[in-house]
Structure 1
Amino acid sequence: MKYGIIGAGAMGYRYGVMLQENAGVEVDFIDTWEPNVEKVREQGGVSVARDHENRQIIPINIYYPEEYAGHPDIWIVFKKQMQLGEELNRDNQAGIFHQDQYVFSAMNGMGHFEKIAEYFPAGHIICGTAMIATRLDGPANVDFMGEEGTEEMHVARYTNEDPDEITQAMMDDFTQAKLNPIFVEDYMGMCMSKVVFNAVTNTLCTMFEMQMGQFIEYDGVREMATQLFNEAYDACERAGIYLIATRQEQVDSVITVSKEYKYHYPSMYQDFSKGRPTEVDYINGYIAKIGRDYDYVCRTHEFVVHEVHMAEMMRKYHHHMDDAADNSVASGAVI
């Protein structure tokens, strides 16, 4: 099988490099971020470390959409939710999509499969979730977090059917790549299980600018997680969505996963700290929307969505304060 990665970011690099290096399959990377593409070409590949160690340059093939003439069997899509619609339209206009191709995505949040379905048949869409932590520290500079073999992911078809030949071949390649895929029958229950997990760890770590290990030092984490999970599960059950993990399993996973990735800042915080919009509307906001659609108010999720957006707004003031502090130090002022 040949793969094309749309979005050479943290997770795009993680999947593409592991497929290329561990499974020995052909992988092409498609990206529109010019500093990223040009840095790969300048240094002869992507710079990869695992847990800050053993950094090396991995040669890869990377292209802008308009210059790509390949024909992968499966596209793997990892873009931010806010960028996905524009990216897919650009790729489609570049003529790189074909009706015989399949597409897989394990992006955070919800709403991306509906966008993907505008360009691919429903039977060719493979859904995924990934409990895999990765950092993009700069253009063509990525750090795989966690020991090899600790990767965990789930796969389901958008049509909720059993694996067909292409899906099974992809699962086999993912297994060889050491991504540890597990097939499940219900894509919505699978995806929402990850969304409600991220609605706790990603959102709260971002609001308080903390690593996951710091997050679970607080004695009230289980109580906070339980409150958020209960609202999410109540909303999902009203909508007929049944998650693959129980409420208690989700609470427990917050602790175990945060211990595993104790030095990791979740992806939402990585966006927040770099001044980019967060995906909170596609995570906590999506849960709140399900609740509203089924006459149930997820009050805590509604509240934290506003809090994250307020924190985003406040970055402009923090920036000015940082500039003022820098100027004070530069001028020798004593405070």
Structure 2
Amino acid sequence: MKYGIIGAGAMGYRYGVMLQENAHVEVDFIDTWEPNVEKVRQQGGVSVARDHQNRQIIPINIFYPEEYQGHPDIWIIFKKQMQLVEELKRDSAAGIFHKDQYAFSAMNGMGHFEKIAEYFPAEHIICGTAMIATRLDGPANVDFMGAEGSEEMHVAQYIGSEPNIVTQKMMADFKEAILNPIFATDYLGMCMSKVVFNAVVNTLCTMFEVQMGQFIEYEGVPDMARQLFNEAYDACERAGIYLIETRQQEVDSVTAASHAYKYHYPSMYQDFSKGRPTEVDYINGFIAELGRKNDYVCRTHEFVTQQVHLAEKMRKYH
């Protein structure tokens, strides 16, 4: 299988490099951020470290959409939710999408699969979630957080409950890449499990500008997590969505992941700290909207969403 990465950022680099180096498959990277593309070309690849150690240049093929002539079997899409619509428009206009291709994405938040479905048949869309921490420290400069083999991810069909032949081949490549894929039969339950996790860890670490290890030092974190999880689970159940983890498993995962990635700043904080908009509307905001649509008010998620937007607004004074 040949892969094309749309969005050579933290997670795009993580998946692409691990597929290329561990599974030994052909990978091309597509990106529109000029400093990133030019830095790769200048230094002969992407600079990769793991937990700040053993940094090395990994040679990769990177292209702007308009100059790309390749034909991957699967596009792996990792863009910020706010950038996805324009990215897909530009890629489509460049003629890089073809009817026989599949699209996989494990982006944070919700709403991206509906956007991807405007360009790919629903049966060609593969959904994913990733419990994988990665930092982009600058153009063509990435840090894989966590020990090798600690990667954890889930895969589901956008349409159907069983993996088709392409998904099976992709999962075999992901396994060789040491991305540790697990198949789930229901993409909504799978995706919402990651959304509600991010609604605690990403959002609260961002609000208090701390690493995950610093966050978990506070003894009240499990109670805070439980309050947010209970609202989210209640909203999901009213919408007929059943998560792949129990409420207690979600609480336990906050503790486990925060210790495992203790030096990691979640992706929402990485955006916040660089003055970019955050994805809170696609995480806590999505949960709040889901609740409202089903006659349930997620008061804590609504308040937290407003708090993050307030913090974004107040950056101009610092």
What TM-score, normalized by structure 2, do the two folds share? 1.00
Alignment of 1:303-322 (within 5 A): 303-318=303-318
SS in 2 for 1:142: strand
Write the letter of the residue equivalent to 2:85: G
CA displacement at 1:296 relative to structure 2: 0.2
Write the letter of the residue equivalent to 1:210: V
Instruction: For 1:315 and 1:289, locate their aligned partners in 2 and report how far apart those are by CA, in whole Å.
Output: 26
Instruction: For 1:216 and 1:75, locate their aligned partners in 2 and report how far apart those are by CA, in whole Å.
Output: 36
Instruction: For 1:160 and 1:221, locate their aligned partners in 2 and report how far apart those are by CA, in whole Å.
Output: 37
SS in 2 for 1:4: strand
Instruction: For 1:58 and 1:21, locate their aligned partners in 2 and report how far apart those are by CA, in whole Å.
Output: 9
| Structure-2 residue corresponding to 1:201 | 201
Contact preservation (8 Å) 1:75, 1:103: yes
| Structure-2 residue corresponding to 1:164 | 164
| Structure-2 residue corresponding to 1:186 | 186
| Structure-1 residue corresponding to 2:302 | 302
Alignment of 1:1-335 (within 5 A): 1-318=1-318
Paired residues, what number? 318
Instruction: For 1:191 and 1:184, locate their aligned partners in 2 and report how far apart those are by CA, in whole Å.
Output: 10
SS in 1 for 2:113: helix
Write the letter of the residue equivalent to 1:132: I
CA displacement at 1:30 relative to structure 2: 0.1
Write the letter of the residue equivalent to 2:214: Q
CA displacement at 1:160 relative to structure 2: 2.8
Instruction: For 2:102 and 2:290, locate their aligned partners in 1 and report how far apart those are by CA, in whole Å.
Output: 28
| Deviation beyond 2 Å, 4+ runs, structure 1 | none
Instruction: For 2:69 and 2:91, locate their aligned partners in 1 and report how far apart those are by CA, in whole Å.
Output: 12
CA displacement at 1:164 relative to structure 2: 1.1
Instruction: For 1:109 and 1:315, locate their aligned partners in 2 and report how far apart those are by CA, in whole Å.
Output: 23
SS in 2 for 1:189: helix
What TM-score, normalized by structure 1, do the two folds share? 0.95
Instruction: For 1:70 and 1:236, locate their aligned partners in 2 and report how far apart those are by CA, in whole Å.
Output: 41
Write the letter of the residue equivalent to 1:56: Q
CA displacement at 1:165 relative to structure 2: 1.0
SS in 2 for 1:109: coil
Write the letter of the residue equivalent to 2:241: I
Contact preservation (8 Å) 1:160, 1:187: no
Instruction: For 1:40 and 1:217, locate their aligned partners in 2 and report how far apart those are by CA, in whole Å.
Output: 38
CA displacement at 1:161 relative to structure 2: 3.0
SS in 2 for 1:205: helix
Moved more, 155-164 or 90-99: 155-164
Instruction: For 1:15 and 1:116, locate their aligned partners in 2 and report how far apart those are by CA, in whole Å.
Output: 19
| Structure-2 residue corresponding to 1:323 | none
Write the letter of the residue equivalent to 1:144: F
SS in 2 for 1:243: coil
Write the letter of the residue equivalent to 2:256: T
Write the letter of the residue equivalent to 2:79: K
Write the letter of the residue equivalent to 2:82: M
Instruction: For 2:221 and 2:57, locate their aligned partners in 1 and report how far apart those are by CA, in whole Å.
Output: 39
What does the per-residue CA deviation read over 1:254-302, in whole Å, with 9 as the maximum and x for residues that have no partner?
0000000001000000000000000000000000010000000000000
SS in 2 for 1:241: coil
Write the letter of the residue equivalent to 2:131: M
SS in 1 for 2:108: coil
Instruction: For 2:40 and 2:222, locate their aligned partners in 1 and report how far apart those are by CA, in whole Å.
Output: 42
Q: Which has the larger radius of gyration?
A: 1
Write the letter of the residue equivalent to 2:307: E
Contact preservation (8 Å) 1:280, 1:308: yes
- Cα RMSD between the aligned structures? 0.4
Write the letter of the residue equivalent to 1:28: D
SS in 2 for 1:120: coil
Write the letter of the residue equivalent to 1:224: M
Write the letter of the residue equivalent to 1:282: Y
Contact preservation (8 Å) 1:239, 1:290: yes
Instruction: For 1:119 and 1:14, locate their aligned partners in 2 and report how far apart those are by CA, in whole Å.
Output: 24
Instruction: For 2:99 and 2:171, locate their aligned partners in 1 and report how far apart those are by CA, in whole Å.
Output: 21
